[in-house]
Chains A and B, each alone.
Chain A
Amino acid sequence: MRSYNIAKRPLWVLAAVLAGSIHSGAVAHSAAPLSATIAPTELQQRDNSLYLALGEYQGLSQLMEAFVLAIAVDERVIHHFERVDIERFHQMLTLHLCELTGGPCEYTGADMVEVHRGMRISSAEFNAVVENLITAMQQQQLSVSTQNRLLAILAAMQHEIVYPQEQK
């Protein structure tokens, strides 16, 4: 597993590395990975309208790419991502949001409390990341409705991410 120590590099180098790694990754994940698909019967019961509005897996993957790139140039929060494997981060984000928005995916990563344990993320840092997501959604020209639907889902996780975290 690769990890980038991005703190010591100029940000434009980081952005270039990120863009390159995500683009090479995006090809492999342009459709939902087979291993992550779920049974069709369960699929039919899900409201996947948000997933469709986001442009399905391809659209989500592009959105998460823009999101990760916005984070990469954000000095307010970049220190939290110093030891993060960016490719895997992008992939897990996309998969998780695919599941949360009603897409045919199953997020297999750790829960949000587990993922953010020990990071001591402040409320202001969480808000900064939300702003990065809004920037990314604007870049992808998503409608206000779609943006609000996605923000509401993610805002519900705030208490699991911001320190001190509430245990579920």
Chain B
Amino acid sequence: MSRVSMNTARSAKLGWLVAAALGLLSAPAQAEFGRLLATGGLTNIEGAGGGGIVPWATLASYADQQQWGATLAFNVADVDDYQLQVGAATVTYDNRWEFSYARQNFELKQLGGELKQSIYGLKYRLAGDVIYGAMPQVSIGLQHKRSGDFSLPQALGAASANGTDLYVSATKAWLDGPWHRTWLANLTVRGTRANELGLLGFGGDLQNNYQWVAEASVAMFVNRHWVVGMEYRQKPDNLSFAKEQDWYDVFVGWFPSKRVAVALAYTDLDAIAGAAGQTGVYGSLQISF
């Protein structure tokens, strides 16, 4: 498929997504009766409710007990040699279950071509509430990832085209934290075999087993609508052809209403597949129903 037709297909898909979102915007808002503003967070690059690069224990949307909710999101990370585009949708029920689907396109700007991946996610809130009570909200989740085309990952030494990450997350907000601001902290521990999220397959010549990695986010709400924070994501290193690096970002989030959430970040993805110094911007738009 040529580059032009690929881009046309993508913009057609995006156009459809935007049209659907605009149609739903005029529907009555379940989001207006549920949880508090910003407690749904944003949608991470794997389609899970969370921050940008880290899934959180919070469930996407504002659905509370016995309510249904949904979100649509579009994320872009544009660094020196690559661009990651993510379209994602979630459905949540009862502030207990989160079902998600994400489609990742990883464009190789220098080499040409792109890597694709589909991610089917499931999250279950075990206990606690992010706002109320002393204990943090704790959720477990899985992300089943399926490569679009395994030929390049395989050539680079990846063992499998598909894989499943398992994680447990704890998220807690303090309404009256330091400087009388609302703070949020998240810690996620993930069992994974994924190379570069799974875009470069799963397992490899160096290491083929599940490894535990840690991911963390800290954020401060300047007021009820604006939040600043940072994130860290540890990653495995399974392939001998290039060392895989941990990721960082510093973000600003904006929650103008329960309908819309926006984030803008400076992101440091370090070296990816041997191309060093991958820094750039990350943008995220989420619409909740």
Closest CB of chain B to A112's CB: distance in Å? Answer: 13
Q: Is the interface of B mostly helix, strand, loop or mixed?
A: loop
Interface residues of A in 136-168 (CB under 8 A from B): 144-146, 148-149, 151-152, 155, 158-159
B28 interface residue (CB < 8 Å to A): no
Contact of B175 among A76, A124, A148 (CB under 8 A): A148
Interface residues of B in 196-242 (CB under 8 A from A): 222-224
B133 interface residue (CB < 8 Å to A): yes
Considering the complex, give the chain B residue whose CB is closest to the CB of A75.
Answer: B33
Binary CB contact string for chain B from 141 to 178 against chain A (1 if under 8 A, 0 otherwise): 00000000000000000000000000000000011110
Whether A155 contacts B181 in the complex (CB less than 8 A), given A124-B35, A148-B175, comes out as no
- Find chain A residues with CB under 8 A from B37 CB: 131
B67 interface residue (CB < 8 Å to A): yes
Whether A144 contacts B223 in the complex (CB less than 8 A), given A124-B35, A151-B175, comes out as yes
Chain A interface residue count: which class? 10 to 19
A130 interface residue (CB < 8 Å to B): yes
Interface residues of B in 64-108 (CB under 8 A from A): 64-67, 95
Closest CB of chain A to B264's CB: distance in Å? Answer: 21
Instruction: Indicate if the CB atoms of B34 and A124 lie closer than 8 Å.
Output: yes
Instruction: Indicate if the CB atoms of B132 and A144 lie closer than 8 Å.
Output: no
Among B64, B175, B223, chain A packs the most CB atoms within 10 A around the CB of B175
Whether A158 contacts B132 in the complex (CB less than 8 A), given A134-B224, A144-B181, comes out as yes
Instruction: Indicate if the CB atoms of A159 and B133 lie closer than 8 Å.
Output: yes
A30 interface residue (CB < 8 Å to B): no
